[in-house]
Each structure stands twice: as C-alpha cells, then as structure tokens.
Structure 1
Amino acid sequence: MTRTPSLLPAALLTAALLTAASAQDTTAPAPALPPTTPAAPPVAPGFPVRAQVASGTLVGREASGVRVWQGIPYAAAPVGERRWRAPQPAPLWVGERDASQPGSACVQPRVGGGVRGSEDCLVLNVYAPATAVRAPVMVWIHGGSFRSGAGSDYDGRVLARERGVVVVTVNYRLGPLGFLAAPGLLEGRTDGNYGLLDQQAALGWVRANAAAFGGDPQNVTVFGESAGGMSICAQLASPLSAGLFDRAILQSGPCTPEINTAALPDALNTGAAYARDLGCPDGSAACLRAVPAERLLDTPVPGRRAPGAVALPPVSGDAVLPRSPQDVFRSGQINRVPVMIGSNLDEGTLFAAPIARSGRDLPVWQFWGLVALLERWNAPRVLANYASRDYETVGLAAAAVVTDGLFACPVNDIARDLARVTPVYAYEFRDRDAPTELKPTASVPRYGAFHASEIVSVFGTPLASFADPAKFTPAQADLARTMRAYWTNFARTGSPNGAGLPAWRPLDPARNNVLTFQPGRVAESTDFRQEHRCDVWSR
C-alpha cells in the first residue's frame, strides 16, 4: 500500500535546507532538477534522409548507421489563443521540412539568469537505426522539476545504434505555461496539466507516425527520470492515456507524495492569487494570455510553500487526472501495462551538497530544528534513525533523509501497489563511484549513486556539465551496457531478461525482490525496505 510521509518531510527538508544555503553565494538545485541544463547535442554530419509523416515530408540526417530527425512539430504552437489550452493538431506543410536541428526548448528559466526557449516548443526528436523495420519505440520524457529541460538535451543515438530501438525525445510545456490552473482557464473539465496533455499528444503522434521511421506503432515504451518519471507515474493514473503506450519505465519519479501533485481546489486558489499578482484581478483568460512569458517566469507563484518545492505541479481533480495517483494505485485502477521502476541508492546527495557555509558542514542544531519543524510528533523517530553522529557529515544525514523519505520508500510503495495488478520489475542503481562533473562540498564530500546518475548509463551519452560516460571504468562501462540491454529488452518484449543477463524476476510484493546494479555485481536483494528504513516513513 502506498503511503505518504507526514508533511512530506524529505521534500520539504530538502527545500528548507536549500533555504539555509540561499544566503550564501551558492546556486542550489531545486528537488528533481539537475544543477545545469545540458546543451543540445549536435547532429553528426551525414547525408539527407526523408520520412513521410502525416503533416508532410521531413528531411533529417544519417550518419554512422543512425538516422536523426529533430525539431518535429507534434502539435500546433501553443501561443495566443492556444496558450493554456489542450494541444491542437500539428499544421501541415508544403514541400520538405528541414529536420536537422533541434527546435526551441519550452519557456523556462536559464541557468545563470534570463530565459531559455520560446512558447512555440511542442516538438520532438527521433533517433532511428538506419535498418529499422518495426523496431521497438522508446519515448523519453525529460525531468527538471516540471520547469526546465528539453527533449533535445538527451541524445538517443547510442541506444538506437547499439540496441536497435527507435528513440523519441519530447518537449512539453513547463512552469506556469504547463501547469497553471486558474478559474478563468477552465475548459470543459480540464484546468492545468497542459504539460501532461502535451505528453499525451506526443504519444498519440508517435502511434500515428512511428512507422515512417521504421518503428512499430504497436510497441511503444514511455520512459523518463525525475519529473519525467513523475509524469509517467501520472499517465499511468490518467484515463486519457489509456492505449497510448504499451510499457512504462519510471526512473526516480514518485508521483504519490503530496508535494508532487496539487488538488484542484488548492491549485485554483493558487492560480487566482497568481493571476492577481500578474495584473489580472478578474483572472480572465484574455488578460492572462496577454501577459508576456518572461513576466510569468519573473512573478513568484504565491502561497505558503517551502522554497525549492515545485510551485505548480500536476493537478489532480480535473479530466486529465480525476483522482490522485496515490488513490488510483491503491485501487489498482491503472492503465495496465508492464512497468519497470526504481531509484538510486544516494538520491539525496545532489540536494544536500550546496548546504555549505564557507566550507563548513550543516550545523547539527539546524538539522535537528528542521526535522522537528517538519516532522512534528514523528521527529524523535526520524532523529533516532538518522542521527547525525552516525554519518561522516551532517549533510550526509540530511541526504539520507531525502533519499529514503522522498525517493526510495515512495518508489518502492508504488512498485508494490502496481505489482498487485500488472507485471513490475523493480531496481536500484548502486554505483557509489558514478562519474560526475559536480564538485564535492563540506556537506557532501562524495555524491555516490546520486539523483540522475543512472541516465548516462541508460543513454550511453554525456549530459553536459553533469556526467560523462567517457569517464567510466571498464566495469562501469560493462554495467551501462547491461542496463541498456535490460531497458531495451523490456521495451521489446515487456520483460528485461535476455541471453547472458542475470535473471530479473518480476516483483513479488511479499518478498520485495529488487534487482540492484553496481559495477561487477548485478544481483537480487530483498532487504530494500530495511536498508532504507521505510518503516520510519510508513503510516
């Protein structure tokens, strides 16, 4: 049964800890947000290749056995009267459309200040083996706290070439343009969740056009990490997603904690206050649609909320997500497809790392005070299980609270709920020497298997300023190839198993068998809940 920690302590603790860092000259990442935005990978030089999709002819590039088409519109630009509406069909074009460069990212804050992207951003990118014929299709939903990132930040060429799958990476609306619910924006039974609607539109486009790239439209797997995993988590609970995908992979993406969704009445109250702050006291759609995108980003979303928390998460209670994912999973009334789901051993280090004042660790008294504030009556139990003296630094104690309370235990709860009604394969990534470009701090002298550290293994390509598989040891490179084999086998057949791979058995909720990944060792564990002290977070 899925359970929610009281007051979502790990998430709020993360945000509160980041608040402590805000007075310093330190840029602190928000929960589920990598510290930098990777640069879009360039398309390798090659010769033109064409694909005929419903809207017209696309001209991409082929090189080294992979065909790449980028910046493909899957829906009309959500601008003007289409801002804060469900996505509309992509326009037709006459002649050939150049698809050799990524399209614009959706509007978001730029790392270091300013704005990245534009509102005309509903595009996707396709990476296909040159010889693909009815190949499995894998659609990637990027992370970034529902407020940053782009599909083109991720390079699908290694997966396509090495594993023979068609990879699609998708943009979706972010921040207030993607998830604002306001009384004046009500359209039918939909209000908010425009980003989730975009993802559904992209999946529908893939069903309709996958064959043009050598993909099998009847074999579509959606996969994503962090906010991307949370999105897929929500799509499993959305009746509007039924039939849009055949399998799902959720990487570090629990959507059941309350901090990761907002009930519609609460979202509408927030939206009404936000509209007033934007200069639209009547909250009318016409007034809101006239507000420049830059001002939307510059205007803080009102409400009592820990800094660093997602201000505008997906909304439960509208037509897209009529019930909270937690309720849907408990009832078993999900979109029943095979699921692969997991998290990383040290998720919280990414968020605790910036908490350093002049090279010093987080003070013990501050850690105690934060736990007392956030956990109230449960604080003694949390402090007894996460005593700072048991860790090398106080920051690592805070990181353990984040790991277990926000990621490990909620993800495992979801896995066990889903396993009652559909095949589930559960994993944990445990490479504590995962390469990273991140710098250690006084709070976190080492990152371990940190949040998002598995992505470069899954894709086999770098994330700029974050991690690079070129720095893998031979054992890490072998592990990465093993993971790509599991991921793509699952996409191909619904089972990750294959020749030469250690057996990965479906999750039995009674045994709680989780496959663990670390260099030189891929093995089943049944101690996950004990190792992450999930009894502390259960209600």
Structure 2
Amino acid sequence: MIRTLTLLTAALLTVAHAQDTAAPTVPPTSQSAPSAAPGTPVRAQVRTGTLVGREAGGVRVWQGIPYAAPPTGDRRWRAPQPPAIWVGDRDASRPGNVCLQRSALGDGPTRGSEDCLYLNVNAPANANRAPVMVWIHGGSFRSGAGSDYDGRVLAREQGAVVVTINYRLGPLGFLAAPGLVGNQGAGNYGLLDQQAALRWVRDNVAAFGGDPANVTVFGESAGGMSICNQLASPLAAGLFDKAIIQSGPCTPDIVLSPLADALKTGAAFARTLNCPDAGAACLRAVPAERLLTTETPGLAFISFPPVYGDGVLPRSPQEVFGSGQVNRVPTLMGTNLDEGTLFVAPFGRDGRDIPLWQFWLLVGQLEGWNTLRVLANYPTRDYPTVGLTASALVTDGVFACPSSEIIRDLARFTPVYAYEFRDRDAPSVLKPSAAIPDYGAYHAGELVSVFGTPLTGLASPAQFTPAQADLARTIRAYWGNFARTGNPNGAGLPVWAPFASPGGTVQTFQPGRIAGTTSFDQEHRCDLWSE
C-alpha cells in the first residue's frame, strides 16, 4: 500500500512529455550524443563570444549556448553565475547537456549532467526586432529539457525568435536545507536559473534579430507553474513583457512549499546523505547522481517543489495575486478539458479499473478534512470508470479551478486571455488502460499544436485530421499575435474576448469550433474547490 501511495503521489503532477510518464509503453530517452543541426553555418556575436549555428529552411538555429557558468562544485546550490568568455568560434550546432534527472517515477536511469545551464535559439533568417518567445519546459520540476522541444515551425510561421532553456531540476534545483540558506534564501535555484536565462535574452537576443523589449515567456505544466511563480517574484520584475501559462497554476498547496517545511524536508534528506548538520560543504561533496537516487523523506506530490518565504518568492503566489502586487504583464492562461487522464492512466494498466480504496486515498491526499464533501460531488456512478472519476477530480481541483482563480485575480490588474483546450480526439501514442479507456483532451495534448512538431512518445502533427491541423495553426497564430502585441486577436481568427469578471469569457478550442464560454467554473465545479 505504501508503494502504491508513493506511485500515486509521484504520478499526480508528472509532465506529459512521453519519456516522463509512468506508462510502460513509452520508450526511454536516448542517451546518445545529439546530432549536429543541418544547414549552412551562420554566426551570431553575443557578449561572451561568437556562436556558429546552422540555417536551413528559412530558420537559423543555435544550440547549446551557455547562459550561466556550470553550477558545479562550490557553485552547486548557489545563484547562477555569469558564463565564461571564449575566444574564437563556438560550435552551436548541437544541444548542450540536459540537467541531471531520472525518469518521472524515480526508478529509471539518469540522464544529463550538473553542467546543464544551456539554451537554444530559433530565429527566422530575416528576423529584425522580432518578438521573442522563451519556452520553459515542464517535468514536475525534476525532468525535461529545452532541447526536447523544436521551435523551428513556431519561429518560421510566426516570425518570432523562439528560445528554449534548461534549468536545474530535482534536489539540485530546489533543495532547501539549513546549511544552504544564503542571501536570497534557500531552494528555488531552478527559478533563479530561469531568471538568469531571461537576463541573458535581454542582453543578447538582438544578435539573433530579436527585440529585447518584447519578450514573452511561455511554458506548460511545471514550466507554466514556473512562470506563474515568476509573476509573483519581485526578482523577475522587468525580465519579460508577456506571459503564457499552459496547464500551470502555482497556487495549489501540492505544487509549492513554505520555506519552513522545505527546510525540514531538506534537513531530513541531508541526514540520509550522511550530512547530519545539513552543512553546505558536506552536501556539495555528495556525488550528484547519489542525490537523485536517494529517497526523499516523507510523501509528496513533487519531491522538491519551489519554495515561498525566501528572497525569490517572499510570499505565497496566492497571496501576491490576491493583493495585486504582481508583475503586471498581459497574460494568456488556460488548461485542458481532461488534464487528469494522463496521471490516472498508469493505475489501470493491470487490466483492471482503479480500486475504490485507491480513489478514496487520492481524495484524502488532496483534500484532507474536505474528503467526504468532495466524494459526494464526484460520485463514481456518474462516470464509466473509477479512473475517469479520479481524472475529473484531478482536472478540476489541481488545474481548472486554481487556474480560474488566478485568472480572475490577474484580470483585475492586467489584460488576461483565458482558454480551454477541448479536443477530445487529440492525437496521442499513449496506450489506454482499464481506468482510462480514452485520454480525451489530456494534459499536454495541446503541445504538438503549439509547436507544430512531433514530441517523442506523445504525438505528431502527422496524426492530425484536416480540422485538427487548422486548429493547430489557429492556436499558433493566437500565441504569435499575443507575443507580438499582447493581444491574441488578428485577421481571420475567431474573436477572443479578454477575461472580465464576473462571468468572464474562456475561449474554447476544438476542431471546427472555437468559441467563448462563460460556464467554465460551473462545468468544473469550482464553487467546491474555492472553499
């Protein structure tokens, strides 16, 4: 039972990138060295030296660009430091190391390196003060990489400079321990990495034809949660001009931790590493891979989530959004209709539906004292399987309703555009289970549309119907327009009204039908989750 609970809690907020799911059908990520980008060599002069990338198909690509010094040795668990200057040309035709990580459930091989603070730039060949879109990947704050995403189609279609970044993950990115407390607090090194990457973009993106005064940060799942946290971070003020948050509310208790609790977890983790005083010198001497293979004390939905109560996030995002003391930039934010199916599916892979006791346990973990009331509002008789009941609960309680509350708070102070992705036939290579016979509009199901490129183990645009391909182009046009102007609307697109309380409009996306709805909260039972 304890192992089952560990799997359940670990799976709940796992990113949907295929190699990071619990599904046994997903192939492992290759450990081989990445191949060089094809095309003609092309140079860019940044502050630290000359980069040589490749141009092909009207898009210039530079990969493996260091935006900070390697966070190794004495730099482990410190704010990122400036990258070194180099002499001569630096080959930028291959991605850099991904950040050290294990599979989503922590039982697979490691990949990557501590030396991982790299980013990639995709720019139209004729870019001149083009809008800039900086992608922050998901992965439950413990897996994923910027190089997992191909920004070339988005760059070519939307005339934007698309940047994808790495940031420190797991204990290397978010461990808070008493001996590591510094001027900016403890933990949140991954969030500091993101801020360092955004400063690098401000300082260098003009060399690629980008406009440093027009930067949009966008991300999904843990990447969206990261952006949500950056909206609440005083240290991120002025680092970006617009934000797109996909399936990434940062206010639920299960996706962040108060500093006091994080320090207790960190101290217990340090003891398991034979560092009883949680001292910095002892912890920095621990081999990096051992940090990943050591069991985290206690049970948590995210083993090492972002922390609030330090210099990066002095207050909880929920408090910041409620007070309006937020980084006020135009924001586009939304969720998918069936977020929960991806997380619940692994528990029906023995050919049976989820047992009722496991569903009750999930509700208890999420809701505590409110368990009975929640169960009364999600009767299993209303769904084909117990798994789909659990999925609806996860969708509403973890994603839809927290996002709706954030949207309402932000809309009081800045323009906000809300959406819901509703394509229940979204392509996928994920295998159904007895618990989840159909994934529907699943978590990350919109990503192939946003990027217009395949995502290994998840889906490919080649699977689109003509109507889905049209929807994907429309979504990219909305995202591109928003990056240019802060307004997703444009010629030939269905009108998308900004959100305005009460009764705010949420734009719904499905093939052949894009329309606004004012019943989002009622459909997701948000009255229940807001109490």
Interval containing the TM-score (normalised by the shorter chain): over 0.9
- Provide the secondary structure at the position in 2 that maps to 1:448: coil
Q: 392, 414, 425: which one pairs with 1:433?
A: 425
Q: Deviations over 1:475-515 (max 9, x none)?
A: 00000000000001000001000000011111012112100
Contact between 1:43 and 1:68, CA under 8 Å: does it hold in 2? no
Tell me whether 1:117 sits opposite 2:112 in the alignment.
yes
Which amino acid is 1:405 matched to? G
SS in 2 for 1:115: coil
Of the three residues 414, 422, 441, the one matched with 1:422 is 414
CA distance in 2, matches of 1:374, 1:497: 37
| SS of residue paired to 1:353 | helix
Q: Measure, in 2, the Cα distance between the counterparts of 1:208 and 1:370.
A: 46
**AA partner of residue 447 (structure 1):** Y
The residue number in structure 1 matching 2:80 is 87
1:45 is matched with 38
1:43 deviates by 5.4
**Counterpart in the other structure of 1:99:** 92
The residue matched to 2:347 in structure 1 has which SS?
A: coil
Q: CA deviation at 1:271?
A: 1.0
Is 1:271 the counterpart of 2:263 in the alignment? no
Residue in 1 that maps onto 2:493: 501
1:31 aligns with 2:13: yes
- Greater relative contact order: 1 or 2 (C-alpha under 8 angstroms, separation 6 or more)? 1
How much has 1:187 moved relative to structure 2? 1.4
Q: What amino acid maps onto 2:413 in structure 1?
A: V
- Residue of 384, 389, 396 corresponding to 2:388: 396
Deviation at residue 259 of structure 1 after TM alignment: 1.1
SS in structure 1 opposite 2:81?
A: coil
Which residue is 1:159 aligned to?
154
Q: Which amino acid aligns with 1:256?
A: T
The offset of 1:284, in angstroms, is 1.4
The alpha-carbon deviation at position 222 of structure 1 amounts to 0.2
* Matched letter for residue 191 of structure 2: L
Cα distance per residue 1:445-475 (max 9 Å; x no partner) = 0000000110110000111011111100000
**Structure 1 equivalent of residue 458 of structure 2:** 466
Question: For 1:296, what is the secondary structure of its paired residue?
Answer: helix
Partner Cα separation in structure 2 for residue 449 and residue 466 of structure 1:
13
Q: CA offsets per residue over residues 2-51 of structure 1, 9 Å max, x none?
A: xxxxxxxxxxxxxx99926959xxx9845132241566985542110000
Q: Which letter maps to 2:4?
A: T
Specify the code of the residue in structure 2 equivalent to 1:125.
Answer: N
CA distance 1:211–1:17, change in 2 (3 Å): farther
Mapped partners of 1:346, 1:18: distance in 2 = 26
Kindly report which structure 2 residues correspond to 1:87-486, keeping only aligned pairs within 5 A, or say none. 87-110=80-103, 113-303=108-298, 305-306=299-300, 309-356=301-348, 358-368=350-360, 370-371=362-363, 375-486=367-478
Please give the alpha-carbon distance, in whole angstroms, between the structure 1 residues aligned to 2:279 and 2:5.
Answer: 38
- Does the CA contact (< 8 Å) of 2:349 and 2:433 recur in 1? no
1:297 aligned partner, one-letter code: L
- CA–CA separation in structure 2 for the residues paired with 1:497 and 1:510: 22
Q: What is the aligned residue count? A: 518
Could you tell me which residue of structure 2 aligns to residue 58 of structure 1?
51
Q: Is the 8 A contact 1:263 1:317 kept in 2?
A: yes
Unaligned runs of 5+ in 2: 21-28
- Shift in alpha-carbon separation, 1:18–1:212, aligned structure 2, 3 A: farther
C-alpha displacement at 1:376, in angstroms?
A: 4.8
Q: Which TM-score applies when normalising by structure 2?
A: 0.94
Q: 1:43 to 1:457 in 2, by over 3 A?
A: farther
Q: What secondary structure is seen at the aligned counterpart in 2 of 1:510?
A: coil
* TM-score, length-scaled by structure 1: 0.93
Do the aligned residues in 2 keep the contact of 1:18 with 1:354 (CA within 8 Å)? no
| Distance across 1 between alignment mates of 2:86 and 2:365 | 57
Alpha carbons of structure 1 residues 159 and 373: separation in structure 2 relative to 1, 3 Å: closer
Residues 156, 86 of structure 1: alpha-carbon distance in 2 compared, 3 angstrom cutoff: same
Kindly state the Cα deviation for residue 276 of structure 1 after the two structures are TM-superposed.
1.2
Secondary structure of 2:348's counterpart equals coil
Shift of 1:78: 0.5
Task: Quote the Cα distance in structure 1 between the aligned partners of 2:372 and 2:126.
Answer: 60
Q: Match of 1:323, as an amino acid? A: R
In structure 2, C-alpha distance between the alignment counterparts of 1:182 and 1:447, rounded to whole Å: 39
Alpha-carbon distance in 2 for matches of 1:468, 1:61: 24
- One-letter code aligned to 2:293: D
Question: Residues 90-113 of structure 1: CA distance to partner in whole angstroms, max 9, x if unpaired?
Answer: 100000000000000001014772
How much does 1:275 deviate? 1.0
Letter in 2 for 1:404: D
Deviation at 1:52, TM superposition (A): 0.1
**Distance in 2 separating the partners of 1:85 and 1:21:** 30
Among all aligned residue pairs of Structure 1 and Structure 2, give the percentage whose two residues are the same amino acid: 71
Q: Shift in Å at residue 279 of structure 1?
A: 1.0
Distance 1:476 1:288, change over 3 A: same
Query: What is the CA–CA distance in structure 2 between the aligned matches of 1:231 and 1:364, rounded to whole Å?
Result: 34
Q: Secondary structure at the match of 2:131?
A: strand
What is the aligned partner in structure 1 of residue 25 from structure 2? Answer: none
Offset of 1:152 from its aligned partner? 0.2
Name the amino acid aligned to 2:64. G
In 2, Cα distance between the equivalents of 1:526 and 1:412?
12
Q: Please say which of residues 358-367 and 92-101 is displaced more in the overlay.
A: 358-367
Mark the runs of 5 or more structure 1 residues left unpaired by the alignment: 1-15
Query: 1:41–1:152: 8 Å Cα contact kept in structure 2?
Result: no
How many angstroms apart in 2 are the aligned matches of 1:69 and 1:129?
12
Counterparts of 2:219 and 2:496, CA distance in 1 = 20
1:302-345, CA deviations, whole angstroms, 9 ceiling, x for partnerless residues? 13x24xx1011011011111001010000010001000000000
> How far 1:366 sits from its partner (Å)?
3.9
Is 1:128–1:167's contact at 8 Å kept on the other side of the alignment? yes
Distance 1:528 1:521 in 2: 16
Relative to structure 2, which stretch is displaced further, 41-50 or 195-204? 41-50
Q: Does the CA contact (< 8 Å) of 2:12 and 2:344 recur in 1?
A: no
1:43, 1:101 within 8 Å by CA — same for their partners in 2? yes
Cross-structure match for 2:26: none
Equivalent position to 1:69, from 62, 71, 86: 62
Deviation at 1:246, TM superposition (A): 0.3
**Partner Cα separation in structure 1 for residue 364 and residue 119 of structure 2:** 45
Distance 1:509 1:255 in 2: 21
Change (3 A) 1:431 1:18: farther
Q: Tell me the distance in 2 between the aligned counterparts of 1:183 and 1:238.
A: 22
2:511 is the counterpart of 1:519:
yes
